[in-house]
Structure 1
Amino acid sequence: MMTKIFRTIRFILVVITLLISTACFAQKTQPAFRVIAFYTAKNDAAHISFVDEANKWFAQVAAQNHFAYDATSDWNKLNAKFLSKYKVVVFLDTRPETKAQRDAFETYMRNGGGWMGFHFSAFALTPSDYPQNWDWYHNEFLGSGSYVSNTWRPTSASIKVEDRNHPVTKGMPVLFRSAPNEWYRWEKDLRQNKDIRILCSIDTCSFPLGTGPKPEEIWHSGYYPVVWTNTRYKMIYFNMGHNDMDYEHGTNQTLSHTFDSTVEDQLIINSLLWLGGKQAAH
């Protein structure tokens, strides 16, 4: 009789152990948070190259850091129901254009959603295919206003970490070398905006920056923020995201890669983990 009781108890303990193990495994395999990237990837070969590179890189980083990464070129998915599944939204190259998409994104951000944008996602120039016709996004959210000019060709720069107290920059070196990029200059001086926290800028040792051939495409002085956040929202913007391409010979081959700087890559990873509410590793 006692032997039968012991067998029953042992069976129950085995079942309980299996259930606990299964629950722990399921918990470990659940992503810490979910990221959705929107992109267009049309017309400009450099932006297409970056998007292709980014989608592969982010998928690898997601697997290594235990979050989920999805990407879509369907901007109509920028709606409340779809966004409710994600903690972080990424704009890889452009921005939403319809009122419904824009309203959904603004509501998402005002309700505590996370956002990361790259390079062309902040572009606005009137007249152009991307005019400045969204004041909340360009003037309030990003704080940069319209695009003014850029360097050319895409070149590496020495980047100064302006704020080493922010969660994404803690432990970062004071200076690091970026991957090659086409750098943007903006209408508004972000230093004058009380809501903007500039994290990184181009260090003066980078000048002259750019190779031309046009003189205005080479910067010799000035102050140029390249990574910043708006303290009223959970967001971060990176000016990086334009690969060098072989336009001259018509091959459109990629000549440089955005994710070729170890320190810059870590800064992006730290930012994603911060936006997702997960502790960044330093």
Structure 2
Amino acid sequence: MYLYPLLKNTHLIFIFLICAFLQAHQPAKPRFRALALAEKGGHHLSYSKAARVWLNQLAADSNFTIDYIDNTDRIDSAFLSDYQLFIQLDYPPYGWTERAVKAFEQYINEGRGGWVGFHHATLLGEFDGYSIWPWFYAFMGQIRFKDYIPDFATGHVWVEDTVHPVMKGLPAVFTVQTEEWYTYDKSPRPQVKVLARVDEQSYNPPSDKIMGDHPVIWTNPAYKSRNIYIFMGHSPDLFQNKAYLQLFKNAIFWASGL
């Protein structure tokens, strides 16, 4: 008479313990989903491969997911709705499908997710038979690509905005090795919020390809989405640079809204 209730309670406790165990060992829900767009060939491929290794480890350590694409064929509004962060990892602003162009503009204009762009994202002009993308031209501060240092140079990057979350934990000045510093037809400064600039007098070896005021990290507050452009993104040795890794990590979490 007393054994049945005892067995019944024991059975319920056992079920409760199993449920608690299963719940405790379920994988945590990802904090956000990121999409990375990178070229599948060309001389930036080594950088993109190194970035992918680092990003995958960061995603695992920080509980977010990241997917990769190497062209814009799949991009439309429905596709982008799955992602809270768009990383333009060395992919130029031309050659996109018309559908991808419209979807990306909507994504940024309406604040549907954040954006982090690197290096090739400011290759603005007429390239490979494509005309300039007017919206992206405005997004990047109304600049056109003019020239670059093809034989590379070391340069010192000076932080201008020490309180912006993307610059948190960075030294006032940090060195970037092996970069093909771009020049533009003008500085984007009047149209954007500059966070850092490169000191052209620090180039080693020295170069005559200079533009004076030379921002290399900026955000455009005129757009609803959190956005950050980081020029440096050519050589895989950047992933041995502690300041650059801190910058990259900060940019991801700030642009994703965390």
- Give the alignment's TM-score, normalised by structure 2: 0.88
| Distance verdict in 2 for CA 1:25–1:276, change over 3 Å | farther
Question: Partner residue of 1:197?
Answer: 193
Unaligned stretches of 5+ residues in structure 2: none
- 4+ runs deviating over 6 angstroms: none
The count of residues paired between Structure 1 and Structure 2 equals 253
Structure 2 CA distance for aligned equivalents of residues 210 and 105 of structure 1: 38
Counterpart-to-counterpart distance in 2, 1:164 and 1:155? 25
| Whole-angstrom distance in 1 between the partners of 2:70 and 2:82 | 17
1:208-260, CA deviations, whole angstroms, 9 ceiling, x for partnerless residues? 41537xx634x4x72211111112231111101112xxxxxxxxxxxx62212
- Give RMSD over aligned pairs: 2.3
User: Residue type matched to 1:207 in 2?
Assistant: Q
Q: 1:80-102: CA deviations, max 9, x gaps?
A: 12111111111112235222110
- Match in the other structure for 2:58: 61
1:156 positional shift: 2.7
Aligned partner of residue 240 in structure 1, secondary structure: coil
Aligned ranges 1:2-81 → 2 under 5 Å: 2-26=2-26, 28=28, 30-42=29-41, 44-45=42-43, 47-81=44-78
CA distance in 1, matches of 2:184, 2:14: 64
Gaps of 5+ in 1: 244-255
- Shift of the 224–24 alpha-carbon distance from structure 1 to 2, 3 Å rule, reads farther
Change (3 A) 1:119 1:16: same
Equivalent pair of 1:143/1:188 in contact (CA under 8 Å): no
Q: Kindly tell me: are residues 22 and 110 of structure 1, through their superposed partners in 2, closer, same or farther at Cα, counting changes over 3 Å?
A: farther
> What residue is the counterpart of 1:251 in the other structure?
none
Residue type of the alignment partner of 1:227: I
- Percent of aligned pairs with the same residue? 28
Greater share of strand: 2
2:175 corresponds to which residue? Answer: 177
- 1:274 to 2:251 alignment: no
Give the 5 Å matches for 1:99-114: 99-112=98-111, 113-114=113-114
- Shift in Å, 1:146: 0.8
Looking at structure 2, the residues matched to 208 and 226 of structure 1 have their Cα atoms a distance apart, in angstroms, of: 14
Partner of 2:230: 238
Matched residue SS, 1:5? helix
Secondary structure, in 3 states, of the residue corresponding to 2:251? helix
Task: Determine the C-alpha separation between the residues in 1 that align with 2:217 and 2:20.
Answer: 44
Q: Deviations 1:117-166 (Å, cap 9, x if unpaired)?
A: 1101220223x327552111122x11142112223422332211111111
Aligned counterpart, 1:82: 79
Kept in 2: contact 1:40–1:73 (CA 8 A):
yes
Tell whether the 8 Å contact from 1:35 to 1:86 is kept in structure 2 after alignment.
Answer: yes
Cα distance between partner residues in 1 of 2:137 and 2:187: 13
Distance 1:209 1:275, change over 3 A: same
Read off the aligned partner of 2:36 and give its amino acid letter: A
State which drifts further: 269-278 or 13-22: 13-22
**C-alpha distance in 1 between matches for 2:9 and 2:193:** 61
Give the SS at the match of 2:100.
helix
> CA shift at 1:275, angstroms?
1.8
**Which residue does 2:132 correspond to in 1?**
133
- 1:261 Cα offset (Å): 0.7
2: distance between equivalents of 1:6 and 1:178?
70
Q: Is the 8 A contact 2:155 2:202 kept in 1?
A: no
- Contact 1:163 / 1:199 at 8 angstroms: preserved in 2? yes
Rounded Cα–Cα distance in structure 2 between residues aligned with 1:18 and 1:179: 54
The verdict on how the C-alpha distance between 1:12 and 1:276 changes in structure 2, with shifts beyond 3 A counting, is farther
| Cα distance between partner residues in 1 of 2:65 and 2:11 | 37
Question: Structure 2 CA distance, aligned partners of 1:240 and 1:130?
Answer: 26
